[in-house]
Amino acid sequence: MTINTGDRLPEATLMKATSEGPKPVNVSEIFNGKTVALFAVPGAFTPTCSARHLPGFAENLETLKAKGVDTVACVSVNDAFVMGAWAQSQDGADKILMLADGNGEFTRAVGLTMDAKGFGMGERSQRYSMLVKDGVVEQLNIEQGGEFKVSSAEHLLGQL
């Protein structure tokens, strides 16, 4: 069942890269008491994700914060090492909270998986963005297969 506007995010543990190695972080730690712009990509280092999705949020980070967003976070069904390396490879991405959902548990819990086996990528996340206030989904923008429109930073800014 896909998460909807008005739903509370399910509890899950994600990982983030740190200088000491991967560190677990709970959904409640990230979202409770905060306004978070969360976006998800099918894969780090993939073409649209690297050329448009992540750069758009990095470029609009300060504007999002000026409109009340406390944290901008990116989640992908990749491991923390890949997410950390991807952040280092992209200008401004080091200011985005990069979250690894290596086993896809969070992605399955919000009902936003996609089958990318045809591309040799296994089960991945659909491309989406959401605005989450105190753990509750306020805006949810899910892309149709192969598109990049409603999950962009610019689209989310227009909803603030």
Q: Other CB atoms closer than 10 Å to residue 78's CB: what's the count?
A: 26
- The amino acid occupying position 126 is Q
Q: Rounded distance, CA 18 to CA 15, Å?
A: 9
pLDDT of 54 reads 93
Q: Rounded distance, CA 48 to CA 26, Å?
A: 28
- The amino acid occupying position 152 is S
SS3 59: helix
Res. 13: pLDDT tops 70: yes
Which residues carry out catalysis?
Answer: 49
pLDDT of 146 reads 83
Q: Rounded distance, CA 104 to CA 29, Å?
A: 19
Tell me the domain boundaries of the chain: 1-40+101-115
pLDDT in tens, 90-146: 988 899 999 999 999 999 999 999 777 777 676 889 999 999 999 999 999 999 988
Per-chain mean pLDDT for the chain: 93
pLDDT of 122 reads 65
Look up the pTM and report it.
Answer: 0.93
List, in sequence order, every residue forming a beta bridge with 140; answer none if it has no partner.
130
